[in-house]
Structure 1
Amino acid sequence: MPIIKAIYWTIFWVSISFIFNIVIYFYWDIILPSSLLSNKDAALAYLTGYIIEESLSVDNLFVFLYIFTLFKLKSHAQRRVLNYGIVGVIIMRGIFIFIGISMITRFEWILYIFGALLIYTGYTMAFGKEKEIHPEKNIMLRMFKKIMPLKTEFYGEKFIVKENGKYFATPMMVILILVESTDLVFAIDSIPAIFAITTDPFIIFTSNLMAVLGLRSLYFVLESAQSSFSYVKYGVGIVLAFVGTKMILLYFGEHIDILISLVVIISVLATSILFSILATRKKENSN
């Protein structure tokens, strides 16, 4: 996808997300009349959740980029994998949200475990060593290989081919499995993060859905400007640590207002993006 087209589509999806936020602000009492949240609080919760999920998606997409580069996947094939991958992401997120809400409803203390997990994840994301991806060690892929043999060569954009009456998975299927398993790991981090903001199922699912729908176009934007986001991982790490701390503070009876959370998250992410841009310009000037 050309960078200009990707930017336009990214702006389109972000605009849709903000329009939906406005709808929540004005019509929340009609959409969900039984909710205890006011229109303002529902809109703030949605916006905060959306920004958290979108920022976490950036790191997720960089892993996708690494996988595609590893397999030397062409641009048109990347689009096909992303299309199927996003469908899988939506289904997976929905399952995780349902499980998470069920657990919190029955065991409120699980929030504190989520909080500790997010603080640890935030630290490792910001300061931990980047892990290399080894397809041969991927658990989902190893399980799949027991069901269906793999081909080493590509067959256009096909995921499965049939030869001599037998089905084989192509490298396209391998890449799709790696993408889905990667998102499974990221969902373990991102879904608990929004529970610190709200436990309303509608807000959680729609904020996730809106963040996911624009992933394909956002991927191609990041692909073209990956060197300009060197400090974003630190910002995302700090956001996760902040959200985790917010969860744990609930144990001590301390509640951080949604508006304050939103301001902190936007400020941290904006600062990390600004530092990334300045670092890129400094590097370009030195060359």
Structure 2
Amino acid sequence: MLDISAATWAVTIGLIVALLAVDLLLAALRPHRVGFREATAWSVFYILIAIGFGVWFAVTYGGDFGTQYFAGYIVEKSLSVDNLFVFVIIMATFAVPEEHQHKVLTFGIILALIMRAIFIAVGAALLSLFSFMFLLFGLLLIFTAVQLFRHRDEDPDVENNIMIRATRRLIPISDEYDGGKLFTRANGRRMATPMLAVLVAIGSVDLLFALDSIPAVFGVTSEPYIVFTANAFALLGLRALFFLVKGLLDRLVYLSTGLSIILAFIGVKLVLHWGHVDINPSIPEVDTYLSLVVIVVILTIVTVASLIKTRRDPSAKAHPGSLRATRRDEERPDAAR
């Protein structure tokens, strides 16, 4: 059992809040188009911070806990790339001006961290009280993996998102942006700008991803501190990573397939752990070192295979995948075949 003092928690949260504050201030004080060099520098900065923290953590608390952190970080980083796919779709759907994309992403990351912190607290409490939660989390991940694999070549239908539809019913939304404002006046009437719809879309997507990613990282470690830091450091680099790789995302044609395999693997790992604890100690478990190797190997194969595929077939395009058939697919005459 990992014993983390209140002071360590406070310093860790303070570091994360400070990094977020810098990101938010940059977005608010100097709205601009983020170029390749700037995005690269920030991406390297956040990765080095995550690695540095992991090295400190391993030296301070032991190699096993350090391995759990790095395995959790890699899982969350790979799932966050799928986040980026959806963020790109949202930005394109609502035609967000480039100078305000930084602000939208920072808001999305803050909201994602808040949601994940809530889910981590709830998940940790449930796992400590009810061991069968490992079974439920495992089955949830396996179901998610199957759905993601079935709809791996689809894009989520952002406009038909239930939160977006509810927002449009409750609040009139203008057709034009007003800088980075959420509300404006049009024809003497107070209205929301499309920026509000973008933030609602980002928030609802964050909620869905939190429901999947938290059980996934609990499949690697049951330590709340490791779950929180792995999530936090993976998400902190998301804003810079968006601007760095958004032009390359279309080439990761097998990413959704790879993520579905990873989620299924972690789901099976959780079910085996439940069986080992509650049914029979002779039921084998998958240790963290093997999990780390499997996840890295899957991601490497997926990336290399995707680049080979798009090099041979330049028309091939990646999709983030969906957990259900989109309305467009449901309306196609051949959708049921």
Whether TM exceeds 0.5 here: the answer is yes
Are 2:130 and 1:130 equivalent residues in the alignment? no
Deviation at 1:146, TM superposition (A): 5.9
Asked if structure 2 preserves the Cα contact closer than 8 Å seen for 1:97 and 1:191, the reply is yes
Are 2:49 and 1:16 equivalent residues in the alignment? yes
CA distance in 1, matches of 2:96, 2:271: 43
User: For residues 68-83 of structure 1, what are the structure 2 equivalents within 5 Å?
Assistant: 68-83=91-106
Aligned length: 275
Partner SS, residue 216 of structure 1: helix
* Residue number in structure 1 paired with 2:231: 208
Deviation at 1:276, TM superposition (A): 1.1
Deviation at 1:133, TM superposition (A): 1.5
* Residue number in structure 1 paired with 2:294: 264
User: For residues 159-174 of structure 1, what are the structure 2 equivalents within 5 Å?
Assistant: 159-161=182-184, 167-174=190-197
* Residue number in structure 2 paired with 1:31: none
* Residue number in structure 2 paired with 1:33: none
Are 2:177 and 1:154 equivalent residues in the alignment? yes
Distance 1:106 1:146, change over 3 A: farther
Asked if structure 2 preserves the Cα contact closer than 8 Å seen for 1:159 and 1:170, the reply is yes
CA distance in 2, matches of 1:16, 1:273: 24
Asked if structure 1 preserves the Cα contact closer than 8 Å seen for 2:39 and 2:241, the reply is yes
* Residue number in structure 1 paired with 2:307: 277
* Greater shift in the superposed pair: 117-126 or 276-285: 276-285
Opposite residue 222 of structure 1, the aligned amino acid is: V
1:80-117 deviation line (CA, Å, top 9, x unaligned)? 11111111111111111111111212222121111111
Deviation at 1:232, TM superposition (A): 1.5
* Residue number in structure 2 paired with 1:108: 131
Opposite residue 2 of structure 1, the aligned amino acid is: G
CA distance in 2, matches of 1:134, 1:196: 29
User: For residues 183-262 of structure 1, what are the structure 2 equivalents within 5 Å?
Assistant: 183-253=206-276, 254-262=284-292
- Among candidates 65, 83, 86, match of residue 109 of structure 2: 86
Distance 1:163 1:283, change over 3 A: closer
Opposite residue 52 of structure 2, the aligned amino acid is: I
Q: State the TM-score, normalized to the length of structure 1.
A: 0.89
Q: State the TM-score, normalized to the length of structure 2.
A: 0.76
Give me the identity figure in percent. Answer: 37
- Among candidates 75, 85, 89, match of residue 66 of structure 1: 89
User: Tell me, which stretches of 5 or more residues in structure 1 are unaligned?
Assistant: 29-38
Asked if structure 1 preserves the Cα contact closer than 8 Å seen for 2:138 and 2:269, the reply is yes
User: Tell me, which stretches of 5 or more residues in structure 2 are unaligned?
Assistant: 1-33, 277-283, 317-337
1:115-151 deviation line (CA, Å, top 9, x unaligned)? 111112122223325254243x433334445654322
Distance 1:232 1:21, change over 3 A: same
Deviation at 1:178, TM superposition (A): 0.1
Asked if structure 2 preserves the Cα contact closer than 8 Å seen for 1:3 and 1:224, the reply is no
CA distance in 2, matches of 1:64, 1:46: 26
Opposite residue 3 of structure 1, the aligned amino acid is: F
1:28-48 deviation line (CA, Å, top 9, x unaligned)? 2xxxxxxxxxx1111011000
Higher helix share: 1
CA distance in 1, matches of 2:84, 2:106: 13
Partner SS, residue 313 of structure 2: helix
Distance 1:134 1:225, change over 3 A: closer
